[in-house]
Amino acid sequence: MNIKNMVKFILNGKNIVFLTGAGVSTASKIPDYRSMNGVYQGKDAPEYLLSKTALKKEPEKFYNFVKYLYHPDAKPNIIHKTITKLQDNKNVAVITQNIDELHDKAKTKQIVHFHGSLYEIYCQNCFQYVSANEYLNNMYHTGCDGILRPNIVLYEEGINSEVLNHSIEYMQKADTIVIVGTSFQVYPFAGLIYEANLKANILAINQTSLNNSFIFEEYIGDAVDVFEYLVKSF
């Protein structure tokens, strides 16, 4: 599908859900995970380093790796901003795999952080929350010497049931679902599509074609191009 038709589908929607992944934030200079320039490149066992086991058994290795994920100076790009702009005359919700809070910075109102947020950090000992700046300077809580951790879903951890239920509610109400910047292979996030309203139009915007069994229309290319065209079409 070409950009013009993709944009037409989006603009025809009234209740739109965006399912966003790491490709949405690369234009904000935040690397994705598995591409040639991704966070995982050159790292031994990156999934292990972001696992519950690593946090428990080798917290320093976990900490030294997770710090690479932080980009506190990153700003929302045209994709985040255009999604927010759509709120002016449509009911828009975002369910995101991203843990960078750029949708929040863009002031999107309805967001489900499916995998949590890097910027919610708490002590595993006393459960007090601290700032990202404090965490990036010290993995130990100065109040009780407990080990700090970001409130993100690690490998070997499950999705919070409230988060999952909230996501399903949005999917069931949507008349248009737009998958953006994700290969859509990670579960249970990818499984949300099977909770969708059966009458919803399903669209995908990604650098590579999605290998999925559901019926959808897709644009293969840079999502920035689509959203630049979209914002000019309001």
CATH number, residue 107: 3.40.50.1220
Domain that holds residue 209: 1-30+75-115+158-234
The predicted structure's pLDDT at residue 32: 78
What DSSP string runs through 30-92?
A: ---SSSTTSTTTT-SSHHHHTBHHHHHH-HHHHHHHHGGG--TT----HHHHHHHHGGGTSEE
Q: What gap in Å lies between CA 5 and CA 93, rounded to an integer?
A: 22
**What CA–CA distance (Å, rounded) separates 6 from 86?**
15
Please identify every stretch of the chain with a pLDDT value under 70, giving residue numbers as ranges. Answer: 33-43, 213
Q: What is the pLDDT of residue 37?
A: 55
Q: Quick check: 121 and 132 in contact, CB under 8 A? A: yes
In a domain, residue 135? The reply is no
Q: Is 2 exposed, middle or buried (0-12, 13-18, 19+ CB in 10 A)?
A: exposed
Asked if the structure places residue 150 within a domain, the reply is no
Helix axes 223-232, 78-85, angle to 10 degrees: 40
Could you tell me the maximum CA-CA distance found in the chain, to the nearest angstrom? 57
In the residue annotation, 141 being an active-site residue is answered as: no
The tally of domains found in the chain comes to 1
The one catalytic residue among 113, 115, 141, 166: 115
pLDDT 10s digits, 57-81: 999 999 999 999 999 999 999 999 9
Q: Does residue 123 lie in a domain region? A: no
Q: How far is CA 14 from CA 11, 132, 166, 174, in A?
A: 8, 37, 19, 8
Q: What are phi and psi of 196, to 5 degrees?
A: -70, 150
Q: What distance, in Å, lies between the first and last C-alpha atoms of the chain?
A: 20
What is the number of residues in the chain? 234
Structural domain includes residue 84: yes
Residue 66 lies in a domain: no
Residue 121 backbone dihedrals phi, psi, to 5 degrees: -125, 130
Nearest to residue 178, comparing CAs of 24, 74, 28? Answer: 24
User: Is residue 64 situated within a structural domain?
Assistant: no
- Give pLDDT, residue 234: 85
CB 178 within 8 Å of CB 18: yes
Would you say residue 50 lies in a domain? no
| 139 part of a folded domain | no
